[in-house]
Structure 1
Amino acid sequence: MSKAIPFEIFAADMAQRKAAAGDLVVPRNAGNRRTPSKRALLKAIADLGGTW
Structure 2
Amino acid sequence: MSKTDDAADWTGKRIDFVSFKEALAARRDALGADLVIPRNSGARRTPSKKALLAAIENTGKRW
**TM-score normalized by the length of structure 1:** 0.63
Q: Percent identity?
A: 48
**TM-score normalized by the length of structure 2:** 0.56
Q: How far apart in 1 are the matches of 2:16 and 2:49?
A: 37
**Residue 12 of structure 1: CA displacement?**
3.2
Q: 4+ residue runs of structure 1 moved beyond 3 angstroms?
A: 1-6
CA RMSD of aligned residues (A): 2.5
Q: How far apart in 1 are the matches of 2:43 and 2:17?
A: 40
**Residue 3 of structure 1: CA displacement?**
7.2
Map of 2:5 onto structure 1:
none
**Residue 36 of structure 1: CA displacement?**
0.7
Gaps in structure 1 of 5+ consecutive residues: none
Map of 1:12 onto structure 2:
22
Compared CA separation, residues 36 and 2, structure 1 to 2 (3 A): closer
Map of 2:38 onto structure 1:
27
Gaps in structure 2 of 5+ consecutive residues: 1-11
Higher RCO (Cα < 8 Å, 6 or more apart): 1
Give 1:45's match in structure 2, choosing from 48, 52, 56. Answer: 56
